[in-house]
Amino acid sequence: MLIIETLPLLRQHIRRLRQEGKRVALVPTMGNLHDGHMKLVDEAKARADVVFVSIFVNPMQFDRPDDLVRYPRTLQEDCEKLNKRKVDYVFAPAVEEIYPQGMEGQTYVDVPGLSTMLEGASRPGHFRGVSTIVSKLFNLIQPDIACVGEKAVQQLALRRQRG
């Protein structure tokens, strides 16, 4: 299992995998992996030649700074679990790698309507952050398939709306 932390290295591996005609799966996560994540990994392994698991705690989707600070960061334990599952790649970039210009002035993806309903009404900006990072990950990794949990119905609706 290779842990990738930089965009140039990620692009190098994606380019090679595409040249080899590999089918690529992505399991996007914020880490702190549990059995539900492992089921998604198993599904990805069954449906693709190569599996990427992203681990990125996205500051854009936290409306309260204290929640971001308290979010568990368990990269070493997560990588041990993923290695046991024989995941091919873990993409675990630093915030600066994903948002090199910082958060101010950052281009984002906003899904009108869904972003302000249900959970979005009480967490302003949360779904903008989710939509933005998922779009960035899809653009960077260009998966043939993505395996995502259905626990958060509204997040799933946002992903489906974006296609």
CB atoms within 10 A of CB 162: 12
Tens-digit pLDDT profile for residues 35-71 = 999 999 999 999 999 999 999 999 988 878 888 899 9
CB 77 within 8 A of CB 34: no
Tens-digit pLDDT profile for residues 127-155 = 788 888 999 999 999 999 999 876 544 45
* pLDDT score of 3 more than 90: yes
* pLDDT tier, 116 (very low <50, low <70, confident <90, very high otherwise): low
Low-confidence winner among 16-25, 26-35, 102-111 (lowest mean pLDDT): 102-111
Q: Which domains can be identified in the chain, with CATH numbers?
A: 2-162 (3.40.50.620)
Which residue in the list 13, 34, 37, 126 is annotated as catalytic?
37
Listed in sequence order, the residues at least 6 apart from 128 whose beta carbon sits closer than 8 Å to its beta carbon are: 60, 61, 108, 109, 110, 115
pTM of the predicted protein model: 0.86
Interval 10-23 mean pLDDT: 98
Q: Which residues pair with 2 in a beta bridge?
A: 89
Active site residue 13: no
Interval 112-117 mean pLDDT: 62
